[in-house]
Amino acid sequence: MRRRLTNHDATNMVLCREEFEVNNIFAEQRGDVYAVYSYGRHFPMYAHRGGVWYGNQDKYSVTTTRHQNLCRPRDVDEWLSTEQMRALIK
């Protein structure tokens, strides 16, 4: 069950890899991958798998860019395209 929080809580939730929902941002554990999304599963922003943080290098909208900045883990190890992120999460 995802917890409802404020935007200011999102960064800490991502760093702790906890499921949450904040306005149009949410994160969930899917198998061995923790994934953070903006406005639905069509745009994964970040994913954590096997001790590695992956970030989406693509841009979608001004609001999603704000979401990416808000939820960015401290260290992103590898940047992928949206399609590569989707494949990683599946």
Q: 10, exposed or middle or buried, with CB in 10 Å at 0-12, 13-18, 19+?
A: buried
- Res 8: pLDDT: 76
Consecutive 10-residue averages of pLDDT for the chain (90 residues): 70 91 91 95 96 95 89 92 96
CA–CA distance, 40 with 53 (Å, rounded to integer): 20
Q: What is the pLDDT of residue 41?
A: 93
* pLDDT on residue 2: 57
Task: Give the Cα separation of 13 and 53 in Å (integer).
Answer: 14
pLDDT of 31 reads 94
- Residue 82 vs residues 1, 42, 75, 85: alpha-carbon distances, Å: 26, 8, 19, 5
For the chain, how big is the Rg over CA atoms in Å? Answer: 11
pLDDT for residue 80? 97
